[in-house]
Structure 1
Amino acid sequence: MLGHFPRFYPDELLHSVYARYHLHSGNGTLAKTARDLFGKNHMPNSIIIPSHLDLFCSNFSENTQISSQEIIHNHTLFPYFQYFLPLERVNKVIDGMRGTTSWEAILATGVAQSLVRPPEFLRFCSECAADDREMYSEAYWHRTHQLPGVNVCDKHGVRLSNSNVYMTPSKSNLKYRKWLYDLESFLKENSLVHVPADNLSISIQELTIAKISRFLLHNKSLCITDRDKVRSQYIFYLQRKNYLMPRGGIRLTKLRQDFELFFGRRFLSSLYCSEYEHPWIHSAFRKSGSICLHPLRHILLMIFLGMATEDYALSNRRLNNPYGESPWICLNPTAEHFLQPVVKVCDIQRKTDGTGIIGIFRCDCGFTYTRSGPDKSESDRMRYDTVREFGECFEKKLLKLRDDDNLKFNEISRILGITEKMASVYYKRAKNQEDLKPKMQRSKGLFAYYQEKNRNLWLQALVKYKGESRTSLAKKAGSGYVWLYKHDREWLKKNSPKKRSKKRKIVNWTKRDQIYAKKVVQTAKEIFESENYPVRLTTSSITKRLGTYFAFDKMPLTKKAIYSLIESVEEFQIRRIKWAARTLYSSGDRLSSNTVRKAAVLPDKRKLSSKVIQALEEHIDLYQSRQELA
């Protein structure tokens, strides 16, 4: 049980509280402080996602009202990551922080896997330190200043200063007690009681990142969400910025180029968020099941797309429909519910030129109309641009007015609210449908006949050729299979042999590497000793001879063997000289600089290196002396 423990300050990092206790208790070693706080000889060494919190809270007396949940949400960096994690991961992180499995909690946040690195040292704001001294008589580490990508204090508009206290502990800095170090002691020992504020060269983007990061860390109204809702917000803003293609695809190339230009490649590289070095933007738009993106990258996307922090943070709210809320008005003049809000289906599509959206409204009466959007006023709900289908109710009314009442088309057009030409066109269409009904009944009977016939043929083939593949059966069933595939595919799928799963061969890469390392040497020797015109020793020439492809990342011995054997251009030219001189000598031809150079297919001497020219002269002299002796 702890007899005394310092109070928690607003926005104080839990590690700072530990450090202040270590100072006030007068403990000479970290082990003594660890035994006081956790009953162990070592401190939990994660500042970003600490653990052992239930064990830590159990050391307080019953009168002290402090819980692990309160610590997690008010004195750690967990809320910064919480909003972007699925519910199951959030629970896993909280369980890990309350328990003793800190590494599992860190993995669940995605921090360990992310390329975005935390700050190397704990940081502080000189103005915040002065305010803390005035209010609490001592300075302390703020958790807002330790967030990745936050280089300025958004409260005072000054650049943060680095300490020499490590953010991520190691054996060396733990040994010299540079880890559990409170801010007040650091400032005094380094004679930094009055630290000058550095507010030069602070960009608006840096300040915006700091403000959004603080909002995500401190806003307790944030709800746990899922990736689908986050993605829906992005899609909405991408559409407004014209980064969506007509069929819903994303113009990623243009998006990446504009993103790099907006922030600058150097600035993004300093945050480990460069799209040029490690592309990541595409993963923000993946559906559920993909990896979690680091919050800093979400923040950069928010700034680029012009998303308001509050709107994004509360994206659990349903996006406003550009045509208002359901139900919508039915504009079928022949229906009993005309001008009443009964339409419940509204499909939104993008125009083919990508300039806007089209709403397709379908009523239960069959009347389907479209309207370009979004609606700008309440009166827009009463209009339509085109009618896709009038429905059976409309057609019956049209036939009645024309055939039974003998009205003219100009009169019908006034009654139904359509043009005279439309009344004529749709009357003919409705009349044709009526005339086609007997034929359709006959065609339905014909369809049923062919369906039964071809199904029987297929079932007979299944019995006769039992055990054969679907492809083999299709060839033997012939036209029966083709008919079923076109007109009765669902039944065909249910009554076909299951696809045979191909067993994936497991490759022993170590053994393969050893075998091919020897083969590479042998193949290179064959190429080198060939009496034909020389072939340069390259990766390509060796792999072509072996008729295989090498996975160099899994075959280090083979890679080493090939790279030790490949020739440079200069070496290959010298080998060609040797071959040409030997060939000319064997055939009894005269050896000269020109004849050897032409036989070796070498360029003019002016384009050859001194080493190649020297080899050329040496071999000419060698074989000329042999010819003279002979």
Structure 2
Amino acid sequence: MRLSNGNFGHNWPLPITQWFDDELFYSLCCRFHYIAGNRLSGHTAKQLFGHARHGTQHDFPSNLDTFVQRTSGVFGDTPKHIILQHTILPFYLPWVSCSLGTELLDQLSRGQAARIKSLLGLPSSRLRANHPLRACPECMHEDKQRTGTAYWRLTHQLPGVRVCPTHKVLLWQFNEKTNAVRRFDWLLPRNDAFYPVAYTLTTHCQLWLDRLAQAAIEIFKLAPNIHIDLNTVQTAYRTALDEQAMLRGRHQIALGTVCQRYLAFTRSCRWQELGIMPPAQERSTTFMLSRLLTRQPCSTNPLHHLPLILWLFGDWPTFWAAYKHAQAPASVTPVHPRTSSDIPDTQAQRLTQLVVVQGLSVSAAAQQLGIAVQTCQSWAAACGIRLQKRPKSNLERIAAIVKDLRQGMEQKATAHKHGVSSSTISRLLLTEPGLHIRWEKARRALAQKRAQSRWLRAMTKHPNATAKQLREIEPASYAWLYRNDRAWLQSKLRKLAKHSVDRSTSVDWAKRDEKLHGQVQQLYQQLQRDGELFPITVQQIYKSTPNIKPALSSLNRLPQTRELLTQIRKRSYRTSKC
């Protein structure tokens, strides 16, 4: 294949024709620059993009139409293919509207990348809008052995990825291509061009950084036509908060409690230190959480959502499952079934007489009682009267629906499975005698089994954890069990480890007294040899020997030390009087 370059009047052979595995588009151009032997970066940019400054952006390259034309589609037959496969833009696309996503793709294709970050809202997100190049030292070593050169991997450049998904080590951050340093140059990774790594990861930090990286990768892999609806995201958030007992009533979010727990989680992960999140200040974090949880949804940096998602759901697959099952707040009407105690005795007797004895239809009985047909059906179900109905659905489908509801299947899931509306499920729960009570018992049994299994799993995984620590690990399970199955929970809590002071080893006060006495005497003599003027006070002793001050409360058990300090006080007092 050859490079078509109208500016130079002839076709040049392409020095490279293939992508490396997981390669960033900027990295491909860097390899082209080095293998082509161009002296200046501008020459390469002109050859590939027709302009000395186009295409050199490592995060959002521009003028890809020209690149595809001049490389004859060898690296991708359309600009869209290259953008979606070899740039970081797909990480952001699911969070914006379809029209804005189309505009972003069009601007990158036509060479107008200057407004990309502003359209994504990155500069106003309180997170830096730049995307420093990062690399894994282990991957660099393996790439050099396999391909002859290190290159930039796309996965390592995704926002939120700070550890290598393969080797689980912290990524190195490149000290060039940032802060306007060599911003228009083509630079491949070199071992001497990275900032020193100043962090030592704990197991806890490693775990959550890895989950954060996996979440970012899963977002990048979403299909191009998937759009994340922020209203549905809020619904999923509220459901998770409700399960973890962080709602006041049915709707109000306990924002103060949410903020405190969220900050404690993110600080334990050290995400602020790694630049994944802005500095952890309670006021600004409360404002950010209120935007994400309670206000009218607006497009914002996905890195604001990811830590919240991991805190509430633990990982991306759990959130994505909750998101897909989330629904608008008023889309399903809650079922409030009547019981026989809710119906006046006279009305219940008349209903029984009309339907059971006289054999009237439900509509005729409702007309005689002066109530709606649906109310009559509900009353009949509460009284245990089975009505002869003419259902719109066939009897086999109704039997299957009833069977699923008796096993505790959720209303929306049941409606989706059998291809009926949610109102049909609600009506069936209201009108089938005893069904709603069976359904509620089954739902409770499923929730009980789920909460107990999660709590037992946490106890098994953390055998030495205290009740407080397990509560922080499984807050939702603890809240459900505390409210609904407290006896079982208390029986398990009694088996847990408790904070206790080990008093099995008694203190050897005589030895401690001898040691402190020797320290004080040695220090006093040292001060005398150093020519300290009298009086030498006890305060000087305390400042020079910090472990003496805490022992003051136990001086009655340290007779030698107490006597020596008393003598020092007396000498100091006499000298001052003289």
The TM-score with structure 2 as length reference comes to 0.53
Correspondence for 2:306:
299
**Aligned-pair Cα RMSD in Å:** 4.5
1:248 deviates by 0.7
Give the counterpart of 1:18 among 21, 29, 40: 29
Correspondence for 2:140:
129
Say if 2:26 and 2:56, in contact at 8 Å, map to a contact too: no
Correspondence for 2:246:
243
Greater shift in the superposed pair: 196-205 or 366-375 = 366-375
Higher gyration radius (CA) = 1
Say if 2:60 and 2:113, in contact at 8 Å, map to a contact too: yes
1:216 deviates by 1.8
Q: State the distance in 2 between where 1:223 and 1:105 align.
A: 20
Over 3 Å counting, the alpha-carbon distance change for 1:327 and 1:265 in structure 2 is closer
Give the counterpart of 1:173 among 156, 165, 182: 182
Correspondence for 1:72:
83
1:320 deviates by 8.3
Q: State the distance in 2 between where 1:124 and 1:63 align.
A: 26
Give the counterpart of 1:285 among 289, 293, 306: 293
Correspondence for 1:499:
none
Correspondence for 1:232:
235
Correspondence for 1:3:
13
Greater shift in the superposed pair: 327-336 or 49-58 = 327-336
Over 3 Å counting, the alpha-carbon distance change for 1:57 and 1:314 in structure 2 is farther
Equivalent runs, 1:492-511 vs 2, <5 Å: none
Q: State the distance in 2 between where 1:49 and 1:142 align.
A: 15
**1:180-229 Cα shifts (integer Å, max 9, x gaps):** 2012xx24x7699xx99997546122222122122222344882222112
Q: 2:186 aligns to what SS in structure 1?
A: coil
Amino acid across the alignment from 2:155: T
Q: State the distance in 1 between where 2:230 and 2:197 align.
A: 43
Over 3 Å counting, the alpha-carbon distance change for 1:307 and 1:320 in structure 2 is farther
1:374 deviates by 8.1
Give the counterpart of 1:143 among 154, 175, 181: 154
Give the counterpart of 2:62 among 47, 51, 56: 51
Amino acid across the alignment from 2:146: M
Q: State the distance in 2 between where 1:132 and 1:341 align.
A: 65
1:141 deviates by 0.7
Over 3 Å counting, the alpha-carbon distance change for 1:215 and 1:5 in structure 2 is farther
Equivalent runs, 1:403-418 vs 2, <5 Å: none
Equivalent runs, 1:464-543 vs 2, <5 Å: none
1:259 deviates by 0.6
Correspondence for 2:277:
272
Q: State the distance in 2 between where 1:83 and 1:221 align.
A: 8
Over 3 Å counting, the alpha-carbon distance change for 1:215 and 1:40 in structure 2 is same
Q: 1:181 aligns to what SS in structure 2?
A: coil
Q: State the distance in 1 between where 2:239 and 2:438 align.
A: 14
Q: State the distance in 1 between where 2:226 and 2:188 align.
A: 33
Correspondence for 2:43:
32
Q: State the distance in 1 between where 2:213 and 2:135 align.
A: 13
Q: State the distance in 2 between where 1:360 and 1:48 align.
A: 51
Say if 1:106 and 1:112, in contact at 8 Å, map to a contact too: yes
Amino acid across the alignment from 1:296: L
Over 3 Å counting, the alpha-carbon distance change for 1:82 and 1:64 in structure 2 is closer
Correspondence for 1:564:
none
Aligned residues: 358
Over 3 Å counting, the alpha-carbon distance change for 1:365 and 1:371 in structure 2 is closer
Equivalent runs, 1:345-384 vs 2, <5 Å: 363=427, 375=440, 377=442
Residue 188 (structure 2) pairs with residue 182 (structure 1): yes
Give the counterpart of 1:60 among 48, 66, 71: 71
**1:344-378 Cα shifts (integer Å, max 9, x gaps):** 9x999xxxxxxxxxx99864999799969984638
Say if 1:124 and 1:145, in contact at 8 Å, map to a contact too: yes
1:124 deviates by 0.7
Give the counterpart of 2:264 among 253, 261, 264: 261
Residue 109 (structure 2) pairs with residue 98 (structure 1): yes
Correspondence for 2:347:
none
Correspondence for 2:209:
206
Q: State the distance in 2 between where 1:321 and 1:379 align.
A: 24
Give the counterpart of 1:85 among 74, 78, 96: 96
Q: State the distance in 1 between where 2:251 and 2:47 align.
A: 59
Q: State the distance in 2 between where 1:266 and 1:199 align.
A: 12
Correspondence for 1:504:
none
Over 3 Å counting, the alpha-carbon distance change for 1:247 and 1:3 in structure 2 is same
1:297 deviates by 1.9
Say if 1:283 and 1:293, in contact at 8 Å, map to a contact too: no
**1:530-578 Cα shifts (integer Å, max 9, x gaps):** xxxxxxxxxxxxxxxxxxxxxxxxxxxxxxxxxxxxxxxxxxxxxxxxx
Identity %: 20
Q: State the distance in 1 between where 2:156 and 2:48 align.
A: 25
Q: State the distance in 2 between where 1:266 and 1:315 align.
A: 24
Amino acid across the alignment from 1:245: R
1:380 deviates by 9.5
Correspondence for 2:352:
none
Residue 125 (structure 2) pairs with residue 114 (structure 1): yes
1:69 deviates by 1.7
Amino acid across the alignment from 1:269: Q
Q: State the distance in 1 between where 2:438 and 2:284 align.
A: 38
Equivalent runs, 1:301-316 vs 2, <5 Å: 301-313=308-320
**Structure 2 unaligned spans of 5+:** 5-11, 338-376, 402-409, 413-422, 447-578
Q: State the distance in 1 between where 2:146 and 2:123 align.
A: 37
Correspondence for 1:223:
226
Q: State the distance in 2 between where 1:371 and 1:5 align.
A: 72
1:256 deviates by 0.1
**1:304-331 Cα shifts (integer Å, max 9, x gaps):** 1024412434666333899xx9999975
Amino acid across the alignment from 1:154: P
The TM-score with structure 1 as length reference comes to 0.49
Q: State the distance in 1 between where 2:320 and 2:220 align.
A: 11
Correspondence for 2:541:
none
Q: State the distance in 1 between where 2:89 and 2:145 align.
A: 29
Q: State the distance in 1 between where 2:197 and 2:281 align.
A: 35
Q: 1:225 aligns to what SS in structure 2?
A: coil
1:60 deviates by 1.7
Correspondence for 2:495:
none
Q: State the distance in 2 between where 1:303 and 1:107 align.
A: 27
Over 3 Å counting, the alpha-carbon distance change for 1:368 and 1:264 in structure 2 is farther
Amino acid across the alignment from 1:91: T
Over 3 Å counting, the alpha-carbon distance change for 1:306 and 1:63 in structure 2 is closer
Q: State the distance in 1 between where 2:229 and 2:327 align.
A: 18
Amino acid across the alignment from 1:115: R
Say if 2:429 and 2:436, in contact at 8 Å, map to a contact too: no
Q: State the distance in 2 between where 1:206 and 1:15 align.
A: 25
Correspondence for 1:164:
175
Q: State the distance in 1 between where 2:235 and 2:431 align.
A: 30
Q: State the distance in 1 between where 2:144 and 2:429 align.
A: 73
Amino acid across the alignment from 1:241: Q
Q: 1:269 aligns to what SS in structure 2?
A: coil
Say if 1:126 and 1:196, in contact at 8 Å, map to a contact too: no
**Structure 1 unaligned spans of 5+:** 349-358, 382-630
Q: State the distance in 1 between where 2:444 and 2:197 align.
A: 61
**1:261-303 Cα shifts (integer Å, max 9, x gaps):** 1221892433333352623111112465x43232222110111
Residue 324 (structure 2) pairs with residue 317 (structure 1): yes
